[in-house]
Amino acid sequence: MSQSKFMTAAEAAKLIKDGDTVGLMGGGGGLMEATHLFEAVQARYLATQQPRNLTVMHALGIGDKKTKGMNCFAHEGLVKKVIGGHWVWSPAMQQLALDNKIEAYILPGGVSSQLMREIGAGRPGLISHVGLGTVCDPRFGGGRMNDAANEDLAEVIRIDGREWLRYKPFPIHVAIVRASAADEDGNISFEHEAANLDAQSLALAARNSGGTVIVQVKERLPKGALKAREVRIPSAWVDAIVVDPAQQTSYDIPFDPAFSGELTGEARAASEAEDHAREVAASQEAFSERQAVARRAHVELFNTGKARPVINYGVGVPDAVAKLIAARNEQHRIYQTIEHGTYGGTLMDGVLFGYARNATAMLDAATQFDFYGGGGLDVACLGFGEFDEEGSVNVSRLGGVTVGPGGFIDIAQNAKKVVFCGTLAAKGVKLATGDGQMRVLQQGAVKKLVKKVDQITFSGPQGLVRGQEVLYLTERGSFRLTPQGIELFEIAPGIDLQRDILDQMDFAPRVAADLKVMDAAHFTAA
């Protein structure tokens, strides 16, 4: 290999031209994020006003809600168009979208990863059922998130009498990829990474688009140092390599082999014991409505007819469900997955969502989404921003702000059973619980159970067509999707049906004739 493949970040940033489509990767909190390269692109633009008018594509959220990740690209003039899976990690980019200073689009996270692979394979885009009936369907928005966005990213086609979406391909001119190490030949290893994400799919897309593949690594190894099976991106795909010795597992964690799944034997057992102790301690913190909803959702995970169901958790209240499983040491009762490609382990939350300590397996994101899309997921435990009388859920645009679905659409649409978890209202709500009851001390100013959602991220009517079991669990009552609409079938102890539930909704649900009261144990702090 020519030594010229190794270069500085500033030199690599100059490989990006005006008008290029640039593919990025990352998963929030610094997960597989090429931070050094992102900052080099930003520094070049601020110094020279180049490159300009980029189209940027990313499957999952990237950033720290401050200055890192997608925030490095959030400059008017640097970016013209963004196709993002999840936007919340970059408030600056959200603001550019809100002000119509960029064209803002969303795609499901899994669709993005799989589309990159299809682009690399030279196929006519991604043909998928994922997104039908949602904002990604051209009949419901076509992925457009602001007035500046004026094209549909997908079209409806029919094959053998069935509707599909064809997500349109486009060339990737530059891929910015993160990995662990490169040898002198330019072969790339992910050995010390906390996930694989879509690095391979993204590199393939750029390579076969005639574009440039730039890889940031922590370590430069001698020729022959990597075993063939350790190489995840071959040298033939790679154009430029930037070594960043300061590269970390996350923004705040220099390196921890528990996150890269490298611990085995006694070291792994000791780490898992420490993880369990932390989860038990965390579960004994102040009891709140989140824990109450999590306990109720926990019941549904083991009510599937499967001896060991395959489960995915989303962000928000579902975090508490994952922590409950960990605190009760029940991981052996389920197959725990997250869309980033990870199985098993102890899931992190907050800024570290997407990380898992002591995972049992790590797949590429596109393969994980293949598994989901093909029907491999038994239960999805997800949050909701709002839901309506048809059972449709919105998490992708709230208060006019672009949020994006991440893997939500791929997951919610494909799980056999979907358990949406959240609070019934927001902004100013005051609740009291922990003694076996739930009491509302002050109602919220924002209703989350609305007549019609602002944007469809999960389609209730499509869920009925697919025969999914769909539940909506809140701290005050439990609802389910039926052909006749949303039905309230449970109420929390201490809650007044009319005042605390029906009056706080913008539509009238069906109320089950045998309306039940939830188990008081869900609301007991002990």
Alpha-helical runs (H) found in 211-264: none
207: tokens are 């390579």
CA dihedral of 38, 365, 343, 180, whole degrees rounded to 10: -40
User: Residue 294 phi/psi, 5° resolution?
Assistant: -60, -40
State the sign of the Cα–Cα–Cα–Cα dihedral 494, 496, 500, 502: positive
Q: Please give the structure tokens belonging to residue 183.
A: 């040898």
Cβ neighbours of 479 (radius 10 Å): 26
CA-based nearest residue to 248, from 75, 64, 41, 22:
64
Pull the structure tokens for residue 232: 């995840």
- Closest to 304 in 3D by CA, of 488, 524, 496, 468: 468
Dist CA 254 CA 248 (whole Å):
4
488-521 residues labelled b (16+ CB within 10 A) or e (exposed):
bbbbbbbbeeeebbbebbebebeebeeeeebeee
d(CA 282, CA 276): 10
Based on C-alpha coordinates, what's the Rg of the chain? 23
The answer to whether 393 and 384 are in contact (CB under 8 A) is yes
Structural tokens at position 203 = 């590199």
CA dist., res. 24 & res. 34, Å (int)? 9
**346, 356 in Cβ contact below 8 A?**
yes
Both tokens of residue 3? 């030594």
Active site residues: 339
* Measured CA distances, 123 to 114, 120, 173, 207, 417 (Å): 11, 8, 17, 14, 32
Q: Which two tokens stand for residue 526?
A: 């002990």
430: enclosing H helix or E strand:
strand 430-433
Angle subtended by helix axes 109-121 and 365-373, to nearest 10? 110
DSSP 132: T
